[in-house]
Chain A
């Protein structure tokens, strides 16, 4: 490229003066096309453009159909029609004329005619049939250019069923004296072979003739066909191996004419084509492979590491070496070569290095071990493409020991991926891993998915486990494996596990721990009882635990444990827990009852009690649905607190009975006071659709073998002892990398050891579940990094040269860092300053005409970041939405920070603007945003996802976060810190805090009165208070509720008489229900929610809203 670097920006004068360079000489700036193009650039709106183009099209239409239009004029008209089509306007009236032009025009008009046809029509267009005759005629022409054009158009698009009509003519061209014709003919035949292979079957021997053509160009063209043929049937072409090897030898040896060189590398395209063919031929074939070892070795040796094109050859060479039968010497060299790729600072090469590793890692897992630190770095790379490729590599090295960490990484990626195709692919891979390593994977899914998971996932998992499969023996193994893995989880750090996972664990242990011979029920009891003492264990989980214990409470130690529990819980506020504790105590002491196990499901023992009550005048029993109907008919509120509560005895029949878990969770839902989150339908964080299927009966059965395998995998101790940890640390610290801090480095080392476990001789540490803190810490680090990169591409670059279109394309290739990008004209280049918007579609041409770069905005008013101008910096995906007022956060002599928020349906988007008011650029800028009450995610927006480390003088950087509430409070506070450095100065920090009222997180929750009723029952947190009623002579209740609705975005479900029910949710998916009743001139409100503090905080805001009114 260096030969063109020096070329300077001279295109502008040459354009305007129409000087005699070969290209610009024909620049049609005075032509009609030129006028059209210039006309468009002067327009300011899309609408005007539309009008202009429609006018243009009408005029073209008139002219093309006029009989007086010459072919030469027609050519010009076609060019204009092509231009209109490129802008996205349809010019279908001109298609037929394009064909006519190709048919009747002189050779140069024809060229444009063929071009227009190939751009306008596609293979199935009916008009294309009209072209067949023209092509036939031109193929027979004595004019070589016409023949060339015909062959070109044929290879671009030709109706499949018309191929036989021209095939003989194209075939004939293989014997043409001119090599250019022969070459095009070969490529046309290649195209035919691709779209209709059976039609060219009879000419395979002619391909061989082309391969032996004396012109290397024709030979090269024929290799396309051979690659295809060999792909389909490598056996049939083994005899050609020696010829291909000879050709490659000659190419590598520089025997081809100079014309074939590309940047002094001999015929790279040909080399790569040959390497591909050789790898297909040598695959699983020792004798064929042996023929090529020598030339591969030479290729590796000859390709010097200096140019992209040689890297391309090397990559293909390495792939070939790993595809054919291995030869240790070559493998060694190839491995070294991969190392060069992986360790390269150039990101493109790193990418290819990862790809190469992925390709070879199954044969040579050690290679991945060698590069583990680089892989870890790539896993954390800001470029998603690199990240994705790394996951691909990890997927290939997954084994029973590292599967949890790898699945975790994949799920992490899934959360940020916006691309459907990637998501589908990755979910498929997670599912595949889940099939191979069911327990490890499901453990990860449970640990990570946590309480956000759809409740039917754990339920169906348990159902599957309890119903089992065809073979009893396998069922037993599977359950035993589950028990073992869960026991080891509980022995480590159960307090890190999500509630749902604990419930699954309790159930499995209760049902199946007897399968394990060495496991004493008392041990399990003790483990389970520890769960009860954990602070964060919800009452629902507790009741699962207690139920599990009732299944185990036999024998000496168990009785004392049960006794302890009874004492703690018999006075519990929670009636369900109280009852369960009671049951547990009874059963543990009465072993007869425990063994009996039978349940009288007709409840006949209650008959006497019932008849007594009926006789005493009690109302007869009505089933719930009947009551519901009656309520609905009566148009009464179906609030269940006011209705009869269901007989609680329903849940008591599950005591010692083996029950399906689905039913169990239902009964706990009925119990009225648990934090059941089952209404949380569309959980958005985990995309587990793919995973769920795996647990279908068939899916599992198909993978029976690997399961058996994993069932035998021993469960390593999941937690490192402190001494082990220290030991590991000391060994790890021997290989420091200078660029990262030791702490981070250590994290990476730990991650590495968990990722690459089982691949080599390294001491293996297994991360069963999430017991090891390493991945946790690592993730937090990564997040901090992401948020610190608070980035914006939009930073105006008034000082830098924004390349204008007149820059030489070659000398200003921005991505090639080694290029000089010095603009020749010293006036600042027109910069795409602050307000580059999508509407300004043709500004690059405007720039050219106005030499005075008036577009620079920040010269005009650099000092004050106005709201208006800040809001133009909003990330594009937010720019359409209304945002709050932009409030200043803090400022010092060099920076001003301000913030605003945008309410989205599922989250709150917080945008922080960093305005550099100093005269020099801020460097090494890092913005950290944190909050105890909020979950802050740094948003990767489409435009602004580059890590801003630098903000130029008087310009703005934007950081964008998505915020959801972790713990409600009246005002949630965001704390932040910006650290930066002025050139030559010391690092500085500036801190700020920003309060967001809880109301910004409240969204209406639309539900029906019935849904409201059942949810009301399930929520445990409640608050009651009287509020002022807005006294309106009409209807005070409606008025008050409407005020609340307007100010707090609540959803009024229904108003009946003096009562009203209202629902809302805290993003995401944390509902709060409100029941209001007008009573003695005040509004008595009763709030319920599963989230602690939410009712109180909401009540505060209701009060404020009504006072302010």
Chain B
């Protein structure tokens, strides 16, 4: 099971946070601090895995953005790396050539995409097409704000 996912910039600015288990504000702040310092100080050509307490931290850098995913000890590290990658692909599919700015200005969209992809710390839907269809159909509601949202194509 995944415990949390953090996105932060190379300067350590938090861009997105998702906590899959209950956590107090203080814990969250400490984790964010620990993660940014740990991950940012990694040298190139090191492996993408870290130990933190009893968790494994899987991180990967995409351009200026670090994706940092915490998983439980018995989980598969490589798979977690692919979770990150699929999420980036989902963002890319939605935004088209996604960049950090897309995520800064539309962070709520990034959260919605994440919620379709993962649920309760487990993979929910891995298909790029399906996740995208879910999000776009909701977005369409947003565009025309019609009351005819019962029959969206998603469920057709």
Contacts and interface: CB of A to CB of B under 8 A. Distances in A.
Interface of A: 1, 4, 7-12, 14-15, 21-24, 26-29, 33-34, 37, 79, 82-83, 86-88, 106-108, 111-112, 115, 119, 122-124, 142-145, 152, 155-157, 178, 180, 183-184, 187-188, 190-191, 194, 217, 220-221, 224, 259-260, 262, 267-269, 272, 308-309, 311-312, 315-316, 347-352, 382-383, 385-386, 388, 419, 421-422, 791, 793, 803-810, 812-815, 832, 838, 840-845, 848, 942-943, 945-946
Contacts of B76: 272, 312, 315-316
Nearest to A125: B22
26 contacts: A7-B97, A11-B99, A86-B17, A107-B149, A111-B112, A111-B138, A119-B17, A122-B24, A123-B22, A144-B152, A145-B137, A157-B22, A180-B155, A221-B124, A269-B123, A308-B81, A309-B78, A347-B46, A348-B48, A348-B78, A383-B46, A422-B51, A791-B43, A809-B99, A815-B60, A840-B11
A112 B112 CA distance: 9
Interface in B101-156: 101-102, 104-109, 111-112, 115, 119-120, 122-127, 129-130, 134, 136-139, 141-142, 145, 149-150, 152, 154-155
Given A22-B94, A145-B141, A191 B120 contact: yes
B65 to A, nearest CB: 6
B47 A107 contact: no
Nearest to A79: B108
B74 to A, nearest CB: 9
A112 B61 CA distance: 28
Nearest to B103: A809
Given A142-B150, A152-B115, A37 B104 contact: yes
Interface in B46-104: 46-54, 60-65, 76-79, 81-82, 85-86, 88-89, 91-92, 94-102, 104
Interface of B: 9-17, 19-20, 22-25, 29, 37, 41, 43-54, 60-65, 76-79, 81-82, 85-86, 88-89, 91-92, 94-102, 104-109, 111-112, 115, 119-120, 122-127, 129-130, 134, 136-139, 141-142, 145, 149-150, 152, 154-155
A384 to B, nearest CB: 9
Contacts of A815: 44, 48, 60-61
A945 B37 CA distance: 14
Contacts of A350: 47
Nearest to A31: B105
Contacts of B134: 180
Given A385-B50, A844-B9, A808 B120 contact: no
B108 A224 contact: no
Chain A binding surface, main DSSP class? helix
A11 B65 CA distance: 15
A718 to B, nearest CB: 35
Given A10-B97, A145-B152, A348 B106 contact: no
Given A156-B120, A422-B51, 4 more contacts: A14-B96, A108-B145, A145-B137, A946-B45
Nearest to A316: B76
A268 B79 contact: yes
B100 A29 contact: no
A149 B149 CA distance: 14
A421 B52 contact: yes
Contacts of A37: 104-105
A122 B22 contact: yes
B11 A942 contact: no
Given A115-B108, A191-B120, A803-B64, A945 B97 contact: no
B103 to A, nearest CB: 9
Nearest to A106: B145
Contacts of A4: 89, 92
Contacts of B9: 805, 844
A188 B142 CA distance: 26
A11 B97 contact: yes
A11 B103 CA distance: 12
A205 B63 CA distance: 48
B35 to A, nearest CB: 13
A34 B101 CA distance: 11
A178 B155 contact: yes
Given A24-B95, A815-B60, A841-B11, A793 B43 contact: yes
A385 B46 contact: yes
Contacts of B123: 220, 269
Contact of B120 (A190, A315, A813): A190
Given A187-B124, A812-B62, A946 B43 contact: yes
Contacts of A388: 51
A176 to B, nearest CB: 11
Contacts of B48: 348, 815
A942 B41 CA distance: 6
A341 B49 CA distance: 16
A421 B53 contact: yes
A636 to B, nearest CB: 54
Q: Which of B77, B94, B105, B123 has the most CB of A within 10 A?
A: B105
A874 to B, nearest CB: 16
B40 to A, nearest CB: 8
A830 to B, nearest CB: 11
A21 B142 CA distance: 16
Closest 5 CB pairs of A and B: A23-B95, A946-B43, A312-B78, A805-B100, A11-B99
Given A145-B141, A308-B82, A350-B47, A848 B101 contact: yes
A23 B98 contact: yes
A334 to B, nearest CB: 16
A810 B138 contact: no
B147 to A, nearest CB: 9
A541 B119 CA distance: 67
Contact of A143 (B64, B89, B104, B149): B149
B82 A812 contact: no
Contacts of A259: 127, 129-130
Contacts of A421: 51-54
A311 B99 CA distance: 28
A127 to B, nearest CB: 14
A457 B20 CA distance: 46
A805 B63 contact: yes
Contacts of B47: 347-348, 350-351, 383, 385-386
Contact of B125 (A157, A178, A217): A217
A943 B39 CA distance: 10
B97 A29 contact: no
B11 A188 contact: no
B80 to A, nearest CB: 9
Contacts of A308: 78, 81-82, 85
A83 B13 CA distance: 12
Contact of A814 (B14, B44, B82, B112): B44
Contacts of A108: 138, 141-142, 145
Contacts of A268: 79, 82
B29 to A, nearest CB: 7
B38 to A, nearest CB: 9
Given A115-B111, A810-B88, A315 B100 contact: no
Nearest to A90: B25
Nearest to B136: A22
Contact of A83 (B61, B107, B130, B136): B107
Contacts of B50: 385
Contacts of B17: 86, 119
B108 A805 contact: no
Contacts of B10: 832, 844
A139 to B, nearest CB: 16
A192 to B, nearest CB: 10
A425 to B, nearest CB: 9
Contacts of A942: 37, 41
A124 B21 CA distance: 12
B98 A808 contact: yes
B51 A352 contact: no
A183 B64 contact: no
B98 A810 contact: yes
